[in-house]
Chain A
Amino acid sequence: MFYIQMTTDQLLFAYTNMLRAREFDNALINLYRQSKIVGGVYSQIGNEATSVGTSMALGDGDIIFPMHRDNGAHFVRGMTAQEMAINFLFRKGAMTRGTDGTGHFADPKRGIYGNVSHLGAMVPVAAGVALAQKMKKTKNVVINYIGDGGSSVGEVHEGLMMASVMNLPFILIIENNQYAYSTPVAHQTHNPKYSDRAIGYGIPGVTVDGTDLEAVFAATSTAVERARVGNGPTLIESVTMRMRGHAEHDGGEYVPKEQIIEWQKKDPVLKTRALLLKNKIKEQEIVLLETQIKQEIDAAVAYANQLPPPDPSEARRGVFI
């Protein structure tokens, strides 16, 4: 696989959004610990290079279907910290009006469609959005994210089947973070190399180090280019580690400590930071950016947290259009 070196601007943009994802995560974890948040907090720590690197390979008009650990992709596509906080805390003004939580909202103007909880269900839908691009001859590309566990759901197969047989501009990113809730990959699949599945669909399949921003960006760029010129789908397996429990209620005791220690060395945020230094970005500049982002996120979460909940009248509205 060829390797695209990102420009300094791209690296800075990537790092900024990886920090946003990381700090947003930390802020939500904090709220969870204070019992100030309803629902689960699904940390995406460890996944920042994947969510940011893949979505940066897209352009205006392209479309993503993120999963529950892809906040970095939301930020890349222009969601502000304040919007994210309002949505995740479903305050008045949330995009779902408070009808749905976590990252399930949609922002079609920015090419973001949300998830449903049912893992895999959005793969056929994303294929349909890709079908629409083909029918309208837009050249836009659709990315759908799924986990090592979610990949076992039958609808993933049907969606990939449709996308491949119709040669659609569709990319499936399998975020292989070693666990699905408590289930390790070894109990999820007899062949732990998820990219092999591409063979069955007659499409390219690649495995990348999901903690390596440039590798993820390169693999996705290749897939995007392929899809854009009408050469159909690609399956990308991005290998990472879920660094916390499934959600904050889960201590993740079933994960061997050595495994966590091993992956801490590959922290994508730290690796990208090192890349910035290697690219002659000054330490002070980086520290300043880190301070700014932390302030931005903390202010956004604090702002959202003091907003009122949705109006009760919302509950009985909008079942039909």
Chain B
Amino acid sequence: MGRDESVFCIGEDIGAFGGAFKATKGLLDQFGADRVIDTPIAESGIIGAAIGASLQGFRPVAEMQFSDFIVNGFNQVVTVAATTAYRWGIGVPIVIRLPSGAGLSGGPFHSKNPEVWFAHQPGLKVVCPATPADAKGLLIAAIRDPNPVMYFEHKKLYRSLKAEVPDGEYVVELGKARIAREGSDATIITYGGTVPMAVQVAEEIAAEGHGSVEVIDLRSLVPLDHEAIFTSIRKTNRALILHEDNITAGFGAEISALITEQAFESLDAPITRVAAFDAPVPFAPNLEAEVLPSKAELKEAVLGLLRY
């Protein structure tokens, strides 16, 4: 915002309050109410206003208070934002920030991981940062991108991760996966909120001498870094896809199909998926834990893959 006057923030309670997760804290004081706009509770209104302003040369960053509420603005995203480039040849350079994910006892309506709805819609980019540095670098790249970007920030990472962030202008190109941990015997492909769990499990398995597990952090689902996936699979010959979103028609299905189509010969074992059980995310902590992919479940699945 300091560098580019066309960037502004718009959303609910993002001004003086600094946003439900304090992501915009301090921006009102620094940039004023014209560029940090508090709105009524109107998700279609917010996204529509962002789209409209973007047609006039602005680069709005719209905040959904929780990613769950994107459903109230769904039409604006998939019908308007996603199709405008194709229909009009005009970019819609908006970023929609979506605090997403479960594990905090948010219940069915404050825990969703709705990334795959948007990955399926042509015309949208889908970004899921997993580290503080990426949260900065990918956000800047998203803001500068001429296309609409759905930017998923896993809520659990807000509080559980602390790390240095590069100073100054730091851009992480969209569509380039990151090897979160190098390994040679199996690959966990994941993104967003489950990256830390994957790394922990890989470390434990290494420490226990069961094998060397590579972890790929996709960073973005659209664009998807196919090459990073295939290169790793050709090296390790074993693939596991992990995500917190529920399993059926989740993004794991897409990656699994891609590997089967394009790297089948490299596989020494069936592709494994670890993801949430197909249910709304329940409220009670013990029920929620039942539904979400757990560390123990992941570890067992990786060990099974290594033994296959």
Contact of A320 among B42, B58, B85 (CB under 8 A): B85
Assess the A128–B40 pair: CB atoms within 8 A: no
In the complex with contacts A165-B40, A320-B123, A321-B85, A127-B80 CB distance below 8 A: no
CB distance from A111 to the nearest CB of B (A): 11
Assess the B75–A118 pair: CB atoms within 8 A: yes
Assess the A135–B34 pair: CB atoms within 8 A: yes
Assess the B42–A158 pair: CB atoms within 8 A: yes
| Binary B-proximity of A209-234 (CB < 8 A = 1, otherwise 0) | 00000000000000000000000000
Assess the A132–B48 pair: CB atoms within 8 A: no
A29 at the interface (CB under 8 A from B): no
Which of chain B's residues has its CB closest to A95's CB?
B88
B106 at the interface (CB under 8 A from A): no
B262 at the interface (CB under 8 A from A): no
Q: How large is the interface on A (under 10, 10 to 19, 20 to 34, 35 or more residues)?
A: 35 or more
- Enumerate B223-259 residues with CB–CB distance to A below 8 Å: none
Number of interface residues of B (CB under 8 A): 39
A180 at the interface (CB under 8 A from B): no
Assess the B56–A136 pair: CB atoms within 8 A: yes
A289 at the interface (CB under 8 A from B): no
Chain B positions within 8 Å of A113 at CB level? 55
Assess the A319–B85 pair: CB atoms within 8 A: yes
Contact of B147 among A95, A162, A321 (CB under 8 A): A321
A106 at the interface (CB under 8 A from B): yes
Assess the B45–A159 pair: CB atoms within 8 A: yes
Dominant secondary structure at the A interface: helix
B79 at the interface (CB under 8 A from A): yes
Assess the A114–B88 pair: CB atoms within 8 A: yes
CA distance A159 to B52 in the complex (A): 11
CA distance A110 to B57 in the complex (A): 16
CB distance from A93 to the nearest CB of B (A): 13
CB distance from A22 to the nearest CB of B (A): 27
Assess the A321–B49 pair: CB atoms within 8 A: no
In the complex with contacts A99-B86, A114-B87, A154-B52 CB distance below 8 A: no
Assess the A125–B52 pair: CB atoms within 8 A: yes
B50 at the interface (CB under 8 A from A): yes
CA distance A122 to B39 in the complex (A): 18
Contact of A131 among B43, B53, B57, B147 (CB under 8 A): B53
A121 at the interface (CB under 8 A from B): yes
A129 at the interface (CB under 8 A from B): yes
Which of chain B's residues has its CB closest to A122's CB?
B80
CA distance A99 to B82 in the complex (A): 13
Assess the A127–B87 pair: CB atoms within 8 A: no
Chain A positions within 8 Å of B123 at CB level? 319-320
Assess the A106–B53 pair: CB atoms within 8 A: no
- Enumerate B65-95 residues with CB–CB distance to A below 8 Å: 75-76, 79-80, 83, 85-91
Chain B positions within 8 Å of A318 at CB level? 85-86, 89
| Binary B-proximity of A70-101 (CB < 8 A = 1, otherwise 0) | 00000000000000000000000001110110
B107 at the interface (CB under 8 A from A): no
B51 at the interface (CB under 8 A from A): yes
A116 at the interface (CB under 8 A from B): yes
Assess the A162–B55 pair: CB atoms within 8 A: no
B103 at the interface (CB under 8 A from A): no
Assess the A131–B40 pair: CB atoms within 8 A: no
Chain B positions within 8 Å of A135 at CB level? 8, 34, 53, 58
B294 at the interface (CB under 8 A from A): no
Assess the A121–B80 pair: CB atoms within 8 A: yes
CA distance A136 to B39 in the complex (A): 19
Chain A positions within 8 Å of B50 at CB level? 128
Which of chain B's residues has its CB closest to A114's CB?
B88
- Enumerate A117-173 residues with CB–CB distance to B below 8 Å: 118, 121-133, 135-136, 154-155, 158-159, 161-162, 165-166
| Binary A-proximity of B92-134 (CB < 8 A = 1, otherwise 0) | 0000000000000000000000000000001101000000000
Chain B positions within 8 Å of A114 at CB level? 87-88
With A136-B57, A161-B42 already in contact, 19 other A-B pairs whose C-beta atoms are closer than 8 Å: A99-B87, A104-B87, A108-B55, A121-B44, A121-B79, A121-B80, A124-B47, A125-B55, A126-B52, A128-B49, A128-B53, A129-B53, A132-B58, A155-B44, A159-B48, A162-B39, A162-B48, A166-B37, A320-B146
Q: List 19 A-B contacts (CB under 8 A).
A: A104-B87, A105-B88, A108-B55, A113-B55, A114-B87, A121-B44, A121-B48, A122-B48, A124-B76, A132-B56, A132-B58, A133-B56, A136-B57, A155-B76, A158-B48, A159-B45, A162-B49, A320-B125, A321-B146
